[in-house]
Amino acid sequence: MSEQIVLTGIKPTGTPHMGNYIGALHPLIEMAKTRKTFVFIADLHALNIIHDPNQIRQHTYEIAAILLALGLNLENATLFRQSDIVQVSQLSTMLMNVTPKGLMNRAHSYKAAVEKNMASGADVDAGVNMGLYTYPILMAADILLYNTDVVPVGADQKQHVEFARDIAGYFNHTYGEIFKLPEPVISADAGIIPGLDGRKMSKSYDNIIPLFAPESELKKKIMRIITDSKLPDEPKNPDESTIFQLYRQFANADEIADMRARFERGGMGYGDAKRILFEKINSVLSAPRAEYERLMSNTSELDNVLASGAARARAVAEKTYERVHRAMLG
Ligand code: TRP
């Protein structure tokens, strides 16, 4: 097993859907089969968006239950809740003092908020809280606290990981070589996962397929995928079909080649293609779905898993924080 430490965080701001599964959760589970991985639920990072503790708790359980139901390897993966490790907040406070304000001004998400305000004539910082503004510092603390080498993230998070690397560099320059410099790894491109209407699957487009919907709902959603109006006999382009794009995420190589041929040959209607897609997804996800439901009605089991993950994470966090404290305060 590689000795490199992999770390990633998942924000509990919504119920993960099939696009999240394909783009992030499934690759993470695959990675944890062979590599030492820290996986945490970034509940502190959710605070600048969600102000209802019950919602954060609910989404935290959902994410933990999904990962466990899909078979996350808990020997390699340390699964925990970000807020269970107080050292991350302490480290964040320390890192504030080596982080130039100008770096935060350049953060994409802060800049987007400012630009929106300017466009609407509002005060530049309207609606921006310090949780949003200092988000990259807390994220740097997440990454540096666990001696992380690589951070698999979506392209939208690349800048944050680069900031963590910059902040580690500023710190080391002043206080000596305390931190490793982390590298972002942009998740192997699963392509853009289309939703029901063919646009990127996203809660904000209201086009998602739930990951663990009951069978009948899953079927209904799949039958509702929008297609062009080609007749059954006509040849179809698999690369422009949402049905095929989803199918290839769940089927094996032979099945994918076979499906591609059926699209290109003509003779298969979209209704049939959707039924085949449903059967495939359902066969892959029905056992995890049952396990997910079991876990969601046994949240004390989830609490136990998160508590033992926190104990493992804390052992590492305490050591790193101790070194930082000594370097900065003697
Ligand atoms: N900011 C990440 C997101 O929105 C979540 C996150 C928080 C994270 N801390 C992290 C990801 C540390 C990787 C490493 O998706």
pLDDT in tens, 232-281: 999 999 999 999 999 999 999 999 999 999 999 999 999 999 999 999 99
3-state secondary structure the chain: CCCCCEEEEECCCCCCEHHHHHHHHHHHHHHCCCCCEEEEECHHHHCCCCCCHHHHHHHHHHHHHHHHHCCCCCCCEEEEEHHHCCHHHHHHHHHHCCCCHHHHHCCHHHHHHHHHHHHCCCCCCCCCCHHHHCHHHHHHHHHHHCCCCEEEECHHHHHHHHHHHHHHHHHHHHHCCCCCCCEEEECCCCCCCECCCCCECCHHHCCCCECCCCHHHHHHHHHCCCCCCCCCCCCCCHHHCHHHHHHHHHCCHHHHHHHHHHHHHCCCCHHHHHHHHHHHHHHHHHHHHHHHHHHHCCHHHHHHHHHHHHHHHHHHHHHHHHHHHHHHHC
Q: What is the pLDDT of residue 190?
A: 58
For the cut 50, the answer to whether the pLDDT of residue 113 exceeds it is yes
Nearest atom in ligand 1 to the alpha carbon of residue 135 is: 1
Nearest alpha carbon, ligand 1 atom 12: 9
Q: Please indicate whether residue 203 is annotated as part of the active site.
A: yes
For the cut 50, the answer to whether the pLDDT of residue 314 exceeds it is yes
Nearest atom in ligand 1 to the alpha carbon of residue 42 is: 7
Q: What is the pLDDT of residue 148?
A: 98
pLDDT tier at 154, thresholds 50, 70, 90:
confident
Q: What is the pLDDT of residue 253?
A: 97
Q: What is the pLDDT of residue 155?
A: 86
Q: Please indicate whether residue 221 is annotated as part of the active site.
A: no
Q: What is the pLDDT of residue 179?
A: 98
pLDDT tier at 192, thresholds 50, 70, 90:
confident
Alpha-carbon Rg for the chain, nearest whole angstrom, is 22
Q: Report residue 114 CA to chain centroid gap.
A: 25
Nearest alpha carbon, ligand 1 atom 1: 157
Task: Report the range of poorest mean pLDDT among 73-77, 150-154, 282-286.
Answer: 150-154
Average pLDDT, the chain: 95
Q: What is the pLDDT of residue 187?
A: 72
From 157, 167, 183, the mutation candidate for ligand 1 (largest count of ligand atoms within 8 A of CB) is 157
Nearest atom in ligand 1 to the alpha carbon of residue 160 is: 1
> Domains along the chain?
2-192+299-329 (3.40.50.620), 212-292 (1.10.240.10)
Q: What is the pLDDT of residue 186?
A: 87
Tell me which residues have their CB closer than 6 angstroms to ligand 1: 7-9, 11, 42, 45, 139, 142-143, 151, 153, 157, 160
For the cut 70, the answer to whether the pLDDT of residue 12 exceeds it is yes
Q: Report residue 235 CA to chain centroid gap.
A: 37
Task: Report the range of poorest mean pLDDT among 43-52, 179-188, 251-260.
Answer: 179-188
Choosing from 11, 36, 180, 203, the catalytic residue is 203
- pLDDT tens digits for 85-107? 999 999 999 999 999 999 999 99
- How many A from CA of 18 to the centre of ligand 1? 19
Tell me the whole-structure pTM to 2 decimals.
Answer: 0.94
Q: What is the pLDDT of residue 3?
A: 84
For the cut 80, the answer to whether the pLDDT of residue 173 exceeds it is yes
Q: What is the pLDDT of residue 8?
A: 96
Q: What is the pLDDT of residue 302?
A: 98
Q: What is the pLDDT of residue 1?
A: 46
